[in-house]
Amino acid sequence: MADVLVCVKRVPDFSGEVLLSDDAQSADARYVGHTLSNHDLCAVETAVQLAAATGGSATVLTVGSADAVEQLRTALGVGCTAAVLVEADPVTLGPADVAREVAAVVADHEASRGAAYDLVLLGNDAADSGDFQVGIRLARLLDRPVVTGVQTVTLDGDRVTLVSDVAEGRETYRLPTPAVVTVLEGGVEPRYPTITGRMKAKKIPVEERALSAEPVGSGRVRLRVPAPQSSTSTLLGEGPEAAPAVVDLLQQLGVAR
Amino acid sequence: MIVVYVETVGGVVAEVSLEAVAFARTLAAAGGGIPVDAVVCGPLGDAGPKELAEAGVRTVLHADAGEFDVFSGAAHARAVLAAREQTRAVVLMGGGTNRGNDVMARVATELDVAMAANVVAFEGLSPFTVTRQVVGGAALEEVRLGSRPAVFSVAGHAVEATPAETAGPATLTPLAVTLEPGDLTVRAVSVEAVDTEAAGNLKSARVVVGAGRGAGGPEGFGDALELAELLGGQLGVSRVVTSLGWRPHHEQVGQTGSRISPEVYIPCGISGAIQHWAGCASSKVILAVNTDADAPMMTKATYAVVGDMHEVVPAVNEEIRRRRG
């Protein structure tokens, strides 16, 4: 029976263009939706599968704005069994702050339940900030082993097997629990919430907490968006009639003979 | 002193590490000629020191004990920390791969300093300020790294891995590293060469033919695969294609897939969302094929053909075959 904590982040769902707030301190997401990073979605799916396979629990946690309850509901809708929101202004947080807050939740859970989460899962990096380091900072605070960039996670008692695709090939890690793992997209296929799942999710209370310490921040000076490139695209033609022009170009570029 | 954590694959220095050394060189020049040293963990082929010397490295600090034969993030971070002790480095940096970010994050955590991932430029030395990619490269963040040493990783393809203008021979020096008992708790127990070889080929391919939702289904990739084969290239796909299960994840190009930098990228039926653009923006020439002339990929591409990939790509394949006789 595995108790898994999965950490997620509410991120703007940018697909076409990024706009910034007037103070250049954050992305202006007023006109876009919000979502979970792809890696987070895979971490949630992994947590739900591990909990189901072992008859355990999957708790979803986020550190961020009150609006992030929407993303917690998404995770509850696909099978997470409990949710925690540590409310804070995301702009003020750096990776060390997020790691500290997750560690505080883990410590409180351990103190109240007398048992540790077997695994803490996180997305490998967030789609917006791409910091890559919350998992490692968390593991250091908890004094637990950490593996990053993992695609599949299998539990066998108090051992966890992790598989990760790297330049050399497919690496397998085996380590004792409790452990921290950051999940990379590609190993599991996230499920979508069903209507029943959404209804169930609405009834699950979300535990709300305040920050345990003043944030140290990220060192951000400002954000900026690279100057848009004017369209310099050269039209080679339309439809199959463009084929000779395409092949002429490929030959000029030296990639077709 | 600047210390660069250098990754190797099969004893060969990774391209991303040569890029990081090139970045370090510009930083060193701005600092008045600070020496650049490299840390290599595990096996290093004979060509390695020469290649690093040509890139501008002065000393290659080599942690070559048996413990380093297999990757352990904690052990590699310990080696970087040992190099820092030895050189009194003020900058510690690596490549912006998952492995490079893992090691540099461990280093920063041990030293209790900030870390900036995926840096593309440095803005100033005092205060030490860098610019890094966020939102998959669609936005940039200027970050002040207030504490010493400055720890960061360099985004792949942020700079070219050009040789140094003046370079002497690099000294290869053994690096003694004292590992803590827990440092080897997490290390790979096996490494199996599988599909990742294909992912590696995608990252290093000279030509990539991309296919997106426009392929229409799992059976819709035959022409794109044929074009890739005719050009000696690889197939790369958009996220929606892997999400729908039409093609395997290792073929995915984008923010959460492979980042490619081919001579020519031919995205077919791919609209060009930010997340996909993050993975292909470093392509030297982009030739887009799409029914929608206003799709972001079409307006950002170097060349464009308006049309259905199922009509355009077979015609291109036929034209190539015809010219070859």
Q: What is the pLDDT of residues B309-322, one digit of tens each?
A: 999 999 999 999 99
A187 beta partners: none
The rounded percent of chain B whose pLDDT value lies above 70 is: 98
CATH of the domain spanning B196-323, picked from 3.40.50.1220, 1.20.140.90, 3.30.930.10, 1.10.10.10: 3.40.50.1220
- Average per-residue pLDDT for chain A: 93
B178 is in an annotated binding site: no
Cross-chain Cβ contact B185/A145 below 8 Å: yes
CA A47 to centroid of chain Cα atoms = 12
- Our CA-based measurement puts residue A205 at a distance from the nearest CA of chain B, in whole angstroms, of 31
Residue A228 contacts B where some CB pair is shorter than 8 Å = no
What Rg do the C-alpha atoms of chain B give, in angstroms? Answer: 21
How far is residue B320's CA from residue B316's CA, in Å, rounded to a whole number?
6
Domain boundaries, chain B: 2-174, 196-323
pLDDT score recorded for residue B278: 87
How far is residue A99's CA from residue A117's CA, in Å, rounded to a whole number?
15
- Our CA-based measurement puts residue B93 at a distance from the nearest CA of chain A, in whole angstroms, of 14
Give the pLDDT mean for B67-77.
92
Tokens of A34: 């919000």
List pLDDT tens digits, range A127-143. 999 999 999 999 999 99
* B-proximal residues of A, 19-38, CB under 8 Å: 20, 27, 38
Q: In what order do the strands lie in the sheet with A179-183?
A: A146-150, A179-183, A119-123, A3-8, A57-64, A82-87, A206-210
Mutation site, B153, B319, B321, interface A, largest A CB count within 10 A: B319
Q: Cα A95–A96–A98 angle (5° rounding)?
A: 65
How far is residue B4's CA from residue B116's CA, in Å, rounded to a whole number?
14
For B285, which of A95, A176, A253 is closest by C-beta distance? A253
pLDDT score recorded for residue A202: 92
- Average per-residue pLDDT for chain B: 92
pLDDT score recorded for residue A167: 67
The rounded percent of chain B whose pLDDT value lies above 90 is: 73
pLDDT score recorded for residue B10: 86
Give, as one character, the DSSP assignment of residue A213. S
pLDDT category, B157, cuts 50, 70, 90?
A: confident
B272 is in an annotated binding site: yes
pLDDT score recorded for residue A31: 80
Q: Which residues of A217-255 are buried (b: 16+ CB within 10 A; e: fewer)?
A: ebbbbebeeeeeeeeebeebbeebebbbbbbebbeebeb
Give the pLDDT mean for B2-10.
94
A82 beta partners: A59
pLDDT category, B325, cuts 50, 70, 90?
A: confident
Task: Report the residue of chain A nearest B136, measured CA to CA.
Answer: A127
Cross-chain Cβ contact A173/B117 below 8 Å: no
**Residue B195, CA distances (Å) to A15, A39, B246 in order:** 29, 20, 16
For B316, which of A39, A146, A247 is closest by C-beta distance? A247
Torsions phi, psi of B111, nearest 5? -85, -5
Cross-chain Cβ contact B138/A18 below 8 Å: yes
B213 is in an annotated binding site: yes
Higher pLDDT, B195 or B141: B141
The position carrying tokens 């990252």 is B203
pLDDT category, B33, cuts 50, 70, 90?
A: confident
pLDDT category, B40, cuts 50, 70, 90?
A: very high
B98 is in an annotated binding site: no
List pLDDT tens digits, range B179-188. 988 888 888 8
Q: Which of B249, B238, B279 is nearest to A187 (CA)?
A: B249
Report whether the peptide linkage leading into residue A228 is cis, meaning its omega lies within 30 degrees of zero: no
How far is residue A155's CA from residue A1's CA, in Å, rounded to a whole number?
10
Instruction: Pick left, alpha or beta for residue B64 (phi over 0 → left; psi -120 to 50 → alpha; otherwise beta).
Output: alpha
The position carrying tokens 């003694």 is B176
Q: Which residues of B touch A244 (CB under 8 A)?
A: 319
Q: Is B196-323 in the same CATH topology as B2-174? A: yes
Give the pLDDT mean for B38-46.
96
For A255, which of B106, B134, B231 is closest by C-beta distance? B231
Q: Which residues of B touch A235 (CB under 8 A)?
A: 293, 303-306
pLDDT score recorded for residue B185: 84
List pLDDT tens digits, range B198-230. 556 788 899 999 999 999 999 999 999 999 999
B187 is in an annotated binding site: no
Give the pLDDT mean for B5-17.
93
How far is residue B135's CA from residue A26's CA, in Å, rounded to a whole number?
11
Q: Which residues of B touch A148 (CB under 8 A)?
A: 73, 98, 101-102
Domains detected in chain A: 3-210 (3.40.50.620)
257 residues of chain A, pLDDT tens digit each: 899 999 999 999 887 678 888 888 888 888 888 999 999 999 999 999 999 999 999 999 999 999 999 999 999 999 999 999 999 999 999 999 999 999 999 999 999 988 999 999 999 999 999 999 999 999 999 999 999 999 999 999 999 999 987 766 788 999 999 999 999 998 899 998 999 999 999 999 999 999 999 999 999 999 998 877 666 799 999 999 999 999 999 999 999 87
Please give the class, per CATH, of domain B2-174: alpha beta
Q: Which residues of B touch A186 (CB under 8 A)?
A: 242, 249-250, 252, 256
CB B202 within 8 A of CB B234: yes
pTM of the entire structure? 0.91
Higher pLDDT, A64 or B255: A64
CB atoms within 10 A of CB B14: 19
* A-B C-beta contacts closer than 8 Å: 259
* B-proximal residues of A, 146-205, CB under 8 Å: 146-149, 165-176, 184-186, 189
Which residues are within 8 A (CB) of B76 and not within 5 positions of it... i.e. 6 or more apart? B5, B41, B63, B68, B103, B106
